[in-house]
Amino acid sequence: MHGLTNLTAAELITIGLAALLVILLAIIGYRAWQKSRITPEERERRRCAHLVAIGKINDAMLVEIRDNLVFYSYGVRGVEYTASQDLSRFANLAASDFSGVSAMSVKYDPRNPANSIVMAEEWNGLRGATRLTPENHPSR
């Protein structure tokens, strides 16, 4: 066995180009795979859209509000669930003043009742909440 020393220049160039082709295909494949991955924001948007489409509506009780997180509880078939939803992506739609929340509705997945929402792009379960605007701000 004489190794690579007995190969002609054309054979060495062919081997080099083949290796370069494999590397380029690997890079292209990796970039395509990365672009096809779903972002966490898109995954949450799809989950909410799915719940809006198939979810059952039930009454919920507001438990606590921390920044943009809304904690709520609801019951399904005798089981009490406590959940939360981050409403930061609905900052322009969501209420800023929850003091007027008289009741809440929750949409949940009938096959997995722990999977629930109180707000989505196409649906809002916050009843009685108002947005704080300069006209209705308490400091006026």
- Whether residues 18 and 63 fall in one domain: no
Look at 73 and 3; give whichever has higher pLDDT: 73
The values of phi and psi at residue 16, to 5°, are -65, -45
- Whether residues 59 and 32 fall in one domain: no
- Assess if residue 75 is contained within a domain: yes
- Whether residues 50 and 10 fall in one domain: no
Q: According to the model, what pLDDT value does residue 66 have?
A: 84
Look at 111 and 95; give whichever has higher pLDDT: 111
- Whether residues 53 and 25 fall in one domain: no
Q: Determine the Cα–Cα distance for residues 39 and 16; give it in Å rounded to an integer.
A: 37
* pLDDT over 90 (residue 20): yes
- Whether residues 27 and 48 fall in one domain: no
Q: What is the pTM of this model?
A: 0.65
The CA-CA-CA angle for residues 70, 72, 76, to 5°, reads 145
**pLDDT tens-digit map of 37-51:** 888 899 999 999 999
3-state SS assignment for residue 140? coil
- Whether residues 30 and 66 fall in one domain: no
* pLDDT over 60 (residue 80): yes
- Whether residues 60 and 78 fall in one domain: yes
Domain span at residue 17? 3-36
Q: At 84, is the pLDDT very low, low, confident or very high (cuts 50, 70, 90)?
A: very high
Q: At 85, is the pLDDT very low, low, confident or very high (cuts 50, 70, 90)?
A: very high
- Whether residues 58 and 102 fall in one domain: yes
* Total number of domains constituting the chain: 2
Q: Domain containing 91 — which CATH number?
A: 2.40.50
Distances in Å between the Cα of 71 and the Cα atoms of 85, 93, 101 are: 7, 18, 13
- Whether residues 49 and 32 fall in one domain: no
- Assess if residue 135 is contained within a domain: no
